[in-house]
Structure 1
């Protein structure tokens, strides 16, 4: 249930171009004008800039520069994605909360955001460092009407969304490393974790987790990651507002996702390959049976890596150990 404070902020945001009287707020919220005045003072203490004028009422000017349900919602230009936002200052994992919410019938489009994750995780149960206030750590709940075997396409779709935001909004040139990493200058900037609850022919829900390094300096990264990870700040030499980046991601995701549901995967596949790291170049591949080098040809509709076998036949790989940075042998 939405709190009185959240309802008050919603009313101020919807009327941000004009003043709204204390009497009107009192009637809509069902509380006294004195209570309205106390709420306004508390909002000001939290960093909200609110203008009050006699005989006119209140008007919100700006939100504090920190993440919350209300700061992310303010100015968010989506139709359904992010209309319900759950924010935590510190939790183990946004994915865990998202699963709990989805099992309790949270609507598609629900977003879970944290300032910090103490047990953030990536693919194959790997840990993901999620420093407080330095990056975007969020999970979104989707309830797509697609077949379960198409769910891996959502990981690839999300990768193109992040690449588009970094390219168009941040103005850098990212690459997507198969299957789910966003690189800049050969260093990891973001990762995606997609999890699903489904039956054989029906998806109950999909959780897409995004971890994006934003305002880290080199000293903010664990020592073991400093040669392989980067952040938007490290690549652009300036800090970024997390709220603005989250809004760009949500707007771009909603548009891309709706287009995907209507028109299919072909455009996403083409865009992914346009951003694809080492497409057309040689990679080193290791499976349980053998090791070889072959060109990375692209991806399939279900997200497999297209390459050549050691005997030269075109094959699809769904899992393998890939050395993306191997040195070509010199004769």
Structure 2
């Protein structure tokens, strides 16, 4: 009922009476009044006037199912949203829910992560009510070896959403970072549960620094936030909804070919690696070169100093001038 009342208040051009709400929902006016009071306690500013009813003045920047479902224009992604005040990690929680049968498109989101993880087990700073910490459960009918490309699909969606909502010039740092002004603003972590030839589920974790005012000294030169770069506070739910909507479009295109064929041109246009000097460090090789492109299979093509094109599928890729590589 709370979600429906929020929706009615949002859609009303002016005041909406308690009687109209109660008739629409088939509940008593007392029940409506109780929910309105509960919403006020959560931070909703709701004006009430005798003989006119209720009017929503402003909504708090909280991430709950009711707020996120409002104006979310997707068919599958976000059809179910599970929100928490605090979890160890949204990826960990999403994996538990997936093992219990959570369906395709389920989104797990939290106001705070106490043990957020980045790539290769690195810690991810996730202070409360300042960022977007969410994971998407997917059950794609694909071969396991193609699942890693979902990181790139999600990265493109986040990049496009940030550009559209904030007008900031966000770029993708292959394979799993989004950067603004040469600093990391978002990290992605994709994890899979599979058999030899079958994917049980994939969890795509997304962490976006939105309204973080400052970072500790050890991160200040590497990390930034939308607030710092745009010099304003952003509504997190708008960024979430736009990310999920764009991701659904790109995910559908990915499933048509099980690769990036349908979106690779857009990806390369957003990829900050292209044409840049990079250093690649992995178990099998260490090399420097200039990035030529990202392929439809998600590999990075680097031209080494001898002019040979080398295909990179994994490893730490440092770009000259970004994250301290000079």
TM-score where L is the length of structure 1: 0.85
Q: CA deviation at 1:158?
A: 0.8
Other-structure match for 1:41: 37
Deviations 1:268-323 (A, max 9, x none): 22222112223123322344565432221222333222224576432222233433
Range that drifts further, 58-67 or 105-114 = 58-67
Deviations 1:15-48 (A, max 9, x none): 646847648737956x654333322222233233
Other-structure match for 1:149: 145
1:254–1:16 Cα change, 3 Å:
farther
Secondary structure class of the residue paired with 1:145: coil
Other-structure match for 2:314: 319
Q: CA deviation at 1:60?
A: 5.4
> Could you tell me which of 227, 232, 235 is aligned with 1:241?
235
1:37–1:278 Cα change, 3 Å:
closer
Alpha-carbon separation, structure 2, partners of 1:106 and 1:290: 39
1:23–1:271 Cα change, 3 Å:
closer
Aligned residues of 1:175 and 1:275 also touching (Cα < 8 A): yes
Alpha-carbon separation, structure 1, partners of 2:261 and 2:279: 27
Aligned residues of 1:13 and 1:74 also touching (Cα < 8 A): no
Alignment gaps of 5+ in structure 2: none
Q: RMSD across aligned C-alpha pairs, in angstroms?
A: 2.8
Alpha-carbon separation, structure 1, partners of 2:315 and 2:123: 20
Other-structure match for 1:25: 22
1:321–1:142 Cα change, 3 Å:
closer
Alpha-carbon separation, structure 1, partners of 2:86 and 2:299: 35
> Could you tell me which of 275, 281, 294 is aligned with 2:289?
294
Deviations 1:140-190 (A, max 9, x none): 111122222211121111111111112222112122112111111211111
Alpha-carbon separation, structure 2, partners of 1:277 and 1:229: 16
